[in-house]
Structure 1
Amino acid sequence: MLIQRRITFYLQESALITFSNKLPPIRIMIAGNDPLRDESYRFTLRLLNNGVDVTCKEYINFPHGFISFNLPIAGISECKEAINQAIIYFREFIYNEKPQAEPEPQRFDESHQTEERLFDEDELRQRSTRNS
């Protein structure tokens, strides 16, 4: 059980409490079944409200850490897609490359269907108030 002193210390480090308006562009990838999902929505909305260039993409049916499910032989194709998306984000920042249209996800069969979503500001606002 956490004592109040430890809880207060932890809360002071939250990105939702401390904030700087001088942030670089931010790209957020959310797993739909992540316990931190709702906090990610709120953080993204706060960035948008403060004029930060932010993109939020959710991988609907996956848990926290799902990118590590990309195994060489039996990996899940959506994990590879998320890794490729992260590479696109890194290239955008490192080489100042403008992102091109995202390729259509490749699926091996219907059992691996999942959704990927980009959120606009109104949808983020709605999700953050609903999940609070």
Structure 2
Amino acid sequence: MTMQPGAPQLHELPAAVARAAMDGMWADLGGEPAAVARAEDAVADGVPVKLYWPEGEGPHPVLIWIHGGGWVLGSAAASDATARDLCGLAGNLVVSVDYRLAPEHPFPAAVEDVTAVAKWVSREIGALGGDTTRMAVGGDSAGANLSAVLANALPGTFAQQVLVYPATDLTHPFPSYHENGEGLMLTKDALAWFQGHYLDGTGADLKDPRVSPLYADAATLTAAPPTLVITAGYDPLRDEGEAYAQRLREAGVAVEQVSYEGQIHGFFSMPAAIPEAREAIERVTSALRRAWA
């Protein structure tokens, strides 16, 4: 899938306009989601979240889900169909995080927000029907980056992490960055725009593990939970996702790494248009159900 010829690319638009365009696209392509028992908005230590409960009696295992969008775009509302699928199909309560976005709130605001939510969940979700002894974290793209950072920051908290085409090395030293950097959903120019909004002026080091979790030390990675990594063959981030899976394996972590060779970055959010997205969602929910068992 490519952007329409002649149309402005997302990274050529003001951030607010790009957000509205992306939110509309995800809403259109999310498909008919799984049924959930109920959904509510809440605030977790100052951070807006959307909560989704599965059918049945609790206490339910809990998934913290962190949306993608290059730390600049996306929202819990735009990820509603994904959150409902992950709730209804895996049988867990989902906490979908509306972390602050760049450039208004650059690094480390997003890291601070997802960390605050995880601590709130550990403290408060029991009263809302959640089981804090069975928790997972996951996300797609920038959300997978933040998920990995969060799992590394809070060892022992999560029984599973799910990283869907994660950004793990913002220096992008791998061949896929160049092989897949033009003409598709995510380009090198778009990555530069996202990273500029997220990091410019912050003084952050691209090899800070809170920016690029591939640079976490071995002791940190050894404490990571069992991990599912999903990559897409036509994604500039493909190789860094696979490299992160390999580093986790070398650290002794149980890793399932699945490559959807014919797919592009973003496909996971498009089950209405891409049948393999439904398969990938089911793979994630199967991994979660195994973790809960």
Per the normalisation by structure 1, the TM-score is 0.61
Q: In the alignment, is residue 11 of structure 1 matched against residue 212 of structure 2?
A: no
User: 2:265 matched to which residue of 1?
Assistant: 64
User: 1:44 matched to which residue of 2?
Assistant: 245
Q: Which has the higher strand share?
A: 2
Deviating above 2 A after TM superposition, structure 1's stretches of 4 or more consecutive aligned residues are: 1-11
Q: CA 1:58–1:7 in structure 2 vs 1: closer, same or farther (change >3 Å)?
A: farther
Q: CA 1:69–1:86 in structure 2 vs 1: closer, same or farther (change >3 Å)?
A: same
In structure 1, runs of 5+ residues without a counterpart are 97-132
Q: In the alignment, is residue 53 of structure 1 matched against residue 254 of structure 2?
A: yes
Question: Which SS does the other structure have where 1:10 is aligned?
Answer: coil
Question: Which SS does the other structure have where 1:60 is aligned?
Answer: strand
Q: How is 1:1-132 mapped onto 2 (pairs within 5 angstroms)? A: 8-12=204-208, 13=210, 14-19=212-217, 20=220, 21-71=222-272, 75-94=273-292, 96=293
Query: 1:84 corresponds to which letter in structure 2?
Result: E
- Number of residue pairs aligned between Structure 1 and Structure 2: 92
Query: 1:89 corresponds to which letter in structure 2?
Result: A
Aligned-partner Cα distance in 1 for 2:234–2:216: 26
Q: CA 1:93–1:9 in structure 2 vs 1: closer, same or farther (change >3 Å)?
A: same
Aligned-partner Cα distance in 1 for 2:213–2:278: 28
Q: CA RMSD in A?
A: 2.3
Q: Percent identity?
A: 30
Structure 1 residue 93: deviation in Å?
A: 1.5
Aligned-partner Cα distance in 1 for 2:215–2:259: 23
Question: Which SS does the other structure have where 1:11 is aligned?
Answer: coil
After TM superposition, the structure 1 stretch with the greater mean CA deviation from structure 2, 2-11 or 84-93, is: 2-11
Structure 1 residue 10: deviation in Å?
A: 3.3
Query: 2:206 corresponds to which letter in structure 1?
Result: Y
Question: Which structure carries more relative contact order (alpha carbon 8 Å, separation 6+)?
Answer: 1
Aligned-partner Cα distance in 2 for 1:43–1:69: 24
Question: Which SS does the other structure have where 2:206 is aligned?
Answer: helix
Aligned-partner Cα distance in 2 for 1:64–1:43: 17
